[in-house]
Amino acid sequence: MTTARYPNVTVELVGQNGNVFNLLGLTRRAMLAAGVPDGEVAEFMTEATNQSSYDAVLGLIMRTVEVQ
Task: Output the average pLDDT for the chain.
Answer: 96
What's the confidence (pLDDT) of residue 19? 95
**CA dist 30 → 2, 53, 56 (Å):** 17, 22, 20
Contact 26, 11 (CB under 8 A): yes
Q: State yes or no: pLDDT of 1 exceeds 90.
A: no
Q: How far is CA 22 from the centre of its chain?
A: 10
Mean pLDDT of 2-22: 93
**CA dist 44 → 13, 62, 66 (Å):** 17, 12, 14
What's the confidence (pLDDT) of residue 2? 65
Contact 9, 66 (CB under 8 A): yes
What's the confidence (pLDDT) of residue 23? 97
- Per residue in 30-60, pLDDT (tens digit) is 999 999 999 999 999 999 999 999 999 999 9
Mean pLDDT of 13-26: 95
